[in-house]
């Protein structure tokens, strides 16, 4: 495996950053997870745009243009001779000292990793996930905007631990008002009487790239999609539920807090969207080779 760090490629065992990097010391940085399929990078432009938006929101200057970073991302995939896989694109505040002051970090560090990924087993896509509600609440906008895809994912990690301890595949996170926000690493959708619903961004959800793709797929299928405030009641009484994320793609949810959603099986709308999504990923995107 070859890893890109600040313009150079290193073998995995030699790919290192300083212990004084503020991404390590303080979680000070941003990242993107990006998928590529069949020799094409899926929605690369949207991911790059979101990375720069996240960086701007935390006053982090990325020392490459969007075009240069796009080229470096594609080249990293080429160097690893992959046609299907996952890219982790990381930008840290860079090397500094033990103080918190970001001004003491003269230049950001850019890391690009291209590899394979399997987030959930195939049986989960066929039979659906068990999800539980986490006690850990989503960080509010007033503390740190959930729109920033930062390196500090401890809020999500703690909720993920709760889900794992409960034997569930994912954990549902609520905001401080008790409304549904998102899962620990995925956006959440429900289907009710043929209409699709998902929490608004203001609830604390990340503006997921795959989330946006579902909006497009729903419109193409003639389905209504809206973004109301949602509670657990809405999930308990839904006909179907599914999650979306770059690594997860689209995956059905069949129980919440051990209560079956709908008939307890992946529903027809979810399955149709999964099929449409897979077809789209195989035929669109930035060409690698």
Distance CA 79, CA 219 (A): 37
Sign of the C-alpha dihedral, residues 95, 55, 226, 34? negative
Distance CA 152, CA 60 (A): 15
**In a 3-state reduction of DSSP, which class is residue 213?**
helix
Would you write out the chain's pLDDT as a tens digit for each of its 289 residues?
999 999 999 999 999 999 999 999 999 999 999 999 999 999 999 999 999 999 999 999 999 999 999 999 999 999 999 999 999 999 999 999 999 999 999 999 999 999 998 889 999 999 999 999 999 999 999 999 999 999 999 999 999 999 999 999 999 999 999 999 999 999 999 999 999 999 999 999 999 999 999 999 999 999 999 999 999 999 999 999 999 999 999 999 999 999 999 999 999 999 999 999 999 999 999 999 9
Distance CA 55, CA 64 (A): 12
Question: Which element (helix H / strand E) includes 250?
Answer: strand 249-256
Q: 218 phi and psi, to 5 degrees?
A: -65, -45
Distance CA 23, CA 108 (A): 9
Known catalytic residues? 149
* Predicted pLDDT at 10: 98
In sequence order, what DSSP letters do the residues of 64-125 get, joined into one string?
S-HHHHHHHHHHHHHHTT-SSEEEEEEEE--B--SSS-GGG--S-EEEEEEE---SS-HHHH
Decide if 191 contacts 270 (C-beta within 8 A). Answer: yes
* Predicted pLDDT at 193: 97
Distance CA 17, CA 4 (A): 11
Residues across the chain: 289
* Predicted pLDDT at 118: 85
Distance CA 148, CA 151 (A): 9
**Up-side HSE of residue 102: CA atoms within 13 Å toward CB?**
15
* Predicted pLDDT at 203: 96
Give the chain's domains with CATH numbers: 2-115 (3.30.470.10), 122-282 (3.20.10.10)
Angle between helices 209-220 and 268-283 (to 10 degrees): 110
pTM of the model: 0.96
Decide if 144 contacts 150 (C-beta within 8 A). Answer: yes
Q: Which residues pair with 249 in a beta bridge?
A: 245
**In a 3-state reduction of DSSP, which class is residue 14?**
helix
* DSSP H helical ranges for 107-194: 122-127, 154-165
* Predicted pLDDT at 163: 98
Sign of the C-alpha dihedral, residues 107, 14, 12, 41? positive
């Amino acid at each position: 495996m070859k890893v890109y760090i600040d313009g150079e490629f290193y073998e995995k065992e030699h790919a290192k950053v300083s212990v004084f990097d503020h991404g390590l010391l303080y979680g000070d940085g941003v990242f993107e997870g990006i998928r590529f399929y069949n020799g094409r990078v899926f929605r690369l432009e949207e991911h790059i745009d979101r990375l720069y938006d996240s960086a701007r929101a935390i006053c982090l200057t990325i020392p490459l243009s969007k075009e240069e970073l796009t080229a470096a991302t594609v080249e990293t995939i080429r160097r690893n001779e992959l046609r299907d896989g996952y890219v982790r694109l990381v930008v840290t505040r860079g090397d500094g000292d033990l103080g918190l002051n970001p001004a003491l970090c003269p230049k950001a560090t850019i890391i690009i990793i291209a590899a394979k990924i399997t987030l959930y087993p195939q049986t989960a896509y066929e039979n659906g996930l068990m999800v539980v509600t986490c006690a850990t609440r989503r960080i509010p906008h007033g503390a740190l905007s959930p729109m920033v895809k930062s390196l500090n994912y401890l809020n999500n990690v703690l909720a993920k631990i709760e889900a794992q301890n409960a034997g569930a595949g994912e954990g549902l996170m609520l905001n401080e008002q008790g409304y549904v926000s998102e899962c620990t690493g995925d956006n959440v959708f429900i289907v009710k009487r043929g209409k699709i619903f998902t929490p608004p961004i203001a609830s604390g959800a990340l503006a997921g790239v795959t989330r946006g793709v579902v909006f497009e797929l729903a419109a193409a299928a003639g389905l209504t999609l809206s973004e109301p405030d949602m509670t657990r009641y809405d999930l308990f009484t839904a006909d179907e539920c599914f999650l979306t994320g770059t690594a997860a793609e689209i995956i059905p949810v069949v129980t919440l807090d051990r209560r079956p959603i709908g008939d307890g099986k992946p529903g027809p709308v979810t399955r149709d969207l999964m099929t449409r999504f897979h077809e789209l990923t195989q035929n669109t995107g930035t060409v690698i080779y």
